[in-house]
């Protein structure tokens, strides 16, 4: 009986130690997740796909649907509304043949297109590709020694067919319609997403308690609102009325997502300032008395 009880206690301690160890290991992984995202975003030689995948994991652990949705959209290109940084300029061009030779890379105006397509196909190119496809286009363009990427507008084959029918010439045929986009434009999109990732990490760190392993749902969502959606940081306004016949001090805050760390620092700063004001007023009252 004694041996059995001792074994039970020993096994219980072992199980407790294992549980503590597992929890500690999970805590370290959670704490390192922000650091890994930041390191991946800062390393320009590293693809953004795994970094954005880590953002989805972070969004799940932190309980932020906004962070998960943004990272998933950048990965897949499935945007509810395409962001402005993915709308770029490109040259509208055609390839074709005529009786004498082959035509390659001839620039045309959108007004040369059929009437129904002139507003839909312009020099604005909407890059709805997932980030992996964009980075692959950049790599293949550099490997080929070219400086531009050729992208086909939606329905370009049908447009070419209609244009050839309207042309009604047996000696001139359009073979292809496309946008010519400089590779630096695509690199700019990648750079902007990388910068936003760095900004997200910085905001989440600023809004997270030192003792927390992960940002709160509010902190993660506020970071997305500030960095991705262009929202403003929350501010605290202090109104101090001079002490005479009456005195009042009021604090207004529109910062529901402000971290306890920043909020505490701000409160103690305010308290210190008010204490200084009070001491000056007391000295003045004593002098008057």
Same domain, 89 and 32: no
Same domain, 99 and 149: yes
User: Which range among 54-63, 73-82, 148-157, 260-269 shows the weakest confidence by mean pLDDT?
Assistant: 260-269
Q: 236 with 259: CB under 8 angstroms?
A: no
pLDDT number for residue 271: 47
Q: What domain range includes position 274? A: 236-288
Same domain, 168 and 120: yes
Cα–Cα nearest to 224, from 254, 197, 259: 197
User: How confident is the model over 197-225, as pLDDT tens digits?
Assistant: 999 999 999 988 877 878 999 999 999 99
> What would the mean pLDDT of 137-149 be, rounded to a whole number?
97
In a domain, 8, yes or no: no
In a domain, 142, yes or no: yes
Same domain, 95 and 181: yes
Q: 6 with 27: CB under 8 angstroms?
A: no
pLDDT higher than threshold 50 for residue 242 = no
Residue 90 gets which letter from DSSP? -
Same domain, 100 and 155: yes
In a domain, 10, yes or no: no
Helical pair 131-143 and 49-62, crossing angle rounded to 10 deg: 170
Predicted confidence band at 99 (pLDDT cuts at 50, 70, 90)? confident
Same domain, 60 and 109: no
Same domain, 101 and 78: no
Same domain, 76 and 116: no
Percent of the chain beyond pLDDT 70? 69
pLDDT higher than threshold 90 for residue 137 = yes
Burial class (CB in 10 A: 0-12, 13-18, 19+), 85: middle
pLDDT number for residue 58: 96
User: Which range among 96-100, 182-186, 226-230 shows the weakest confidence by mean pLDDT?
Assistant: 96-100
Same domain, 127 and 164: yes
In a domain, 3, yes or no: no
Looking at the 3D structure of the chain, how many domains does it have?
A: 3
Same domain, 43 and 179: no
Cα–Cα nearest to 150, from 175, 183, 119, 117: 183
Same domain, 172 and 222: no
> What would the mean pLDDT of 124-146 be, rounded to a whole number?
97
- The answer to whether the pTM exceeds 0.95 is no
pLDDT higher than threshold 50 for residue 259 = no
Tokens of residue 225, six digits: 């609102």
pLDDT higher than threshold 70 for residue 189 = yes
pLDDT number for residue 286: 59
């Amino acid at each position: 009986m004694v041996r059995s009880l001792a074994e039970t206690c020993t096994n219980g301690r072992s199980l407790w130690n294992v549980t503590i160890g597992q929890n500690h290991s999970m805590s370290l992984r959670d704490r390192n997740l922000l650091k890994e995202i930041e390191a991946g975003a800062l390393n320009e030689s590293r693809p953004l796909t795994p970094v954005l995948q880590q953002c989805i994991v972070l969004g799940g652990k932190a309980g932020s649907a906004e962070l998960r949705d943004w990272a998933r959209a950048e990965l897949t290109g499935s945007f509810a509304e395409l962001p402005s940084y993915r709308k770029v300029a490109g040259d509208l061009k055609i390839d074709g043949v005529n009786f004498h030779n082959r035509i390659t890379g001839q620039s045309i105006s959108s007004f040369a297109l059929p009437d129904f397509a002139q507003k839909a196909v312009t020099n604005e190119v909407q890059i709805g590709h997932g980030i992996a496809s964009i980075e692959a286009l950049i790599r293949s363009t550099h490997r080929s020694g070219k400086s531009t990427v050729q992208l086909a507008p939606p329905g370009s084959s049908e447009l070419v067919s209609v244009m050839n029918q309207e042309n009604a010439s047996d000696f001139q045929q359009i073979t292809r319609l496309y946008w010519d986009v400089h590779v630096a434009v695509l690199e700019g999109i990648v750079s902007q997403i990388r910068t936003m990732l760095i900004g997200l990490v910085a905001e989440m760190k600023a809004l997270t308690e030192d003792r927390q392993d992960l940002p709160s749902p509010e902190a993660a969502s506020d970071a997305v609102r500030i960095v991705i959606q262009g929202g403003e940081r929350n501010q605290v306004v202090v109104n101090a009325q001079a002490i005479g016949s009456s005195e009042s001090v009021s604090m207004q805050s529109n910062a529901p997502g402000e971290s306890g760390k920043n909020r505490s620092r701000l409160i103690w700063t305010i308290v210190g300032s008010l204490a200084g004001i009070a001491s000056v007023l007391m000295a003045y009252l004593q002098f008057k008395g």
